[in-house]
């Protein structure tokens, strides 16, 4: 008598007796998951915070002209949030925090002051 043949498992299931090794692709231009996640997270975070900063600029434009202190205060807060946006972007990518790039975050303040008092 012949031995009964072992039942073959479907290919999509894992065989505990014969585990497969992970095959790593060496295709040029391919990115791993972690850098892509960092870029997506940093762009979303920075964009969200910059929207808040420009919302404060718009709010400063609609404040009564007699309230110059409120207009200036909102524009300064917009610049602070701009600096925070740049810092969050740099922190997610694990760059050093103090950098000339932080000056880019002050742009909403100057733009807001120009738009508010023109």
Per-residue confidence band for 15, with pLDDT thresholds at 50, 70 and 90: confident
- pLDDT value for 31: 61
Angle at alpha carbon of residue 100, lines to 96 and 104, rounded to 5°:
110
pLDDT attached to residue 28? 54
Is 37 part of a structural domain of the chain?
yes
Per the model's pLDDT, the better-predicted residue between 112 and 24 turns out to be 112
Assess whether pLDDT exceeds 70 at residue 82.
yes
90 within a domain of the structure (yes/no):
yes
Other C-beta atoms lying within 10 Å of the C-beta of residue 15: 11
Is residue 93 in some structural domain? Answer: yes
Does residue 24 carry a pLDDT above 80? Answer: no
pLDDT at position 5 is: 76
38 found inside a domain? yes
Mean pLDDT of the chain: 88
For residue 53, what are the domain limits? 33-117
Cα 35 to the chain's mean position, in Å?
11
pLDDT digits (tens, 9 = 90+) for 28-75: 556 688 899 999 999 999 999 999 999 999 999 999 999 999 999 999
- Residue 14: its pLDDT value, please? 74
Total structural domains within the chain = 1
Q: How confident is the model at residue 113 (pLDDT cuts 50, 70, 90)?
A: very high
């Amino acid at each position: 008598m012949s031995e009964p043949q072992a039942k073959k498992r479907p290919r999509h299931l894992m065989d505990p007796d014969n585990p497969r090794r992970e095959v790593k692709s060496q295709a040029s231009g391919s990115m791993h998951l972690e850098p892509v996640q960092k870029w997506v997270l940093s762009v979303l975070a920075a964009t969200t915070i910059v929207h808040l900063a420009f919302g404060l600029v718009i709010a400063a434009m609609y404040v009564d002209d007699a309230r110059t202190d409120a207009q200036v205060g909102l524009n300064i807060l917009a610049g602070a949030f701009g600096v925070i946006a740049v810092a969050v972007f740099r922190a997610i990518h694990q760059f050093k925090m103090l950098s000339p790039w932080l000056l880019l975050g002050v742009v909403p303040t100057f733009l807001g002051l120009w738009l508010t008092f023109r």
